[in-house]
Copies of this chain bind each other. A is one copy, B any other.
């Protein structure tokens, strides 16, 4: 339990640290309906603890502010009304300073509850869910504010430092997997979201995965080869979407004055880094690029089974013998529609709305990204977005049949 107390502090502090470089103005504005203001992330993650942990566990519970119950509910019908998502950016009040006070207040009360109920396993489990939830919002906070900054003609950088130097080029290897019966899904005793359960058997035909991610140079070759002008490379719905939105390149790519590309990111506008993985791709773009390369996207079962057998964790994988950059670089689109695993059962109560109700018209991403908090991802982790989502740290790893 002491571990949980200190972990609670660490996760909460990390969220605040992510917001620290931003002004109150930066934290308030919502740049599109799919993105939330930073201030809203700060408040909603606090609301989660207040609603699901403090309210049932704190004697004489009183909400910090009655209106926050509605303002900072995201999508839990079981908890009552909620402020409309596209209007989150209109909330100039409460001020950022009020939301920080809300955070401090709930943190203090959480510490008290945690101290008092050191043996309550159900409570600890809910707190852990709240922390995992907050870590998910840490990544969204970054991708959402990055989208906001990308809309600004001044091209402001989230981070002032220089971006990390890209690793030198590595030739892609095709790693082969024999398939057959295998188990996927979360199996251990640690935390997992309900959508990773139950661990179950599946059958895979033989396949190969590329040892590394598709690079920015490779994606630039796709663009130069008319990738965004050739309907035969695209899913029909993707092609229509691309045409209607007049999409000609990844969301954050910009034509450099003398030719070539600049790429906007957390470090501001930088020259395209040929060795770095391409990112901020929609499913449609990733899928078209894979077809152009004579390959395809992996299924999530292929990805997980391969990663389990030959993956290296993080970027420090030894000597190129395995799947590099599974974690910590960019999320990898799979061709798998987000669907319940066989035997899936949503949790009871309002937290049961966490995952299951989104299992339609979304596609699974695997791995993790440079914006994912360290320690948050795992082999069985299932991230998911609609096929048109372009503002995440999402790229691709090629697969093919054997």
Contacts and interface: CB of A to CB of B under 8 A. Distances in A.
Interface residues of A, number: 64
Interface in A1-57: 23-29, 31
A94 to B, nearest CB: 7
B96 A360 contact: no
Interface stretch (A201-209, A247-255, A257-265): A201-209
Contacts of A234: 357
Nearest to A342: B205
B148 A92 contact: yes
A151 interface: yes
A387 interface: yes
A335 interface: yes
Contacts of A136: none
Nearest to A180: B201
A152 B91 contact: yes
Contacts of A26: 92-93
A77 interface: yes
Contact of A23 (B71, B95, B237): B95
Contact of A359 (B23, B70, B235): B235
Question: Which of A94, A149, A154 gathers the greatest number of chain B CB atoms within 10 Å?
Answer: A154
A173 interface: no
Interface in A85-142: 87, 89-96
A337 interface: yes
A200 interface: yes
A283 B339 CA distance: 14
Given A93-B154, A283-B360, A343-B401, 4 more contacts: A23-B24, A75-B236, A83-B153, A181-B203
**Those 6 A-B pairs whose CB atoms lie nearest each other, nearest first:** A337-B337, A203-B203, A25-B92, A25-B28, A77-B231, A236-B357
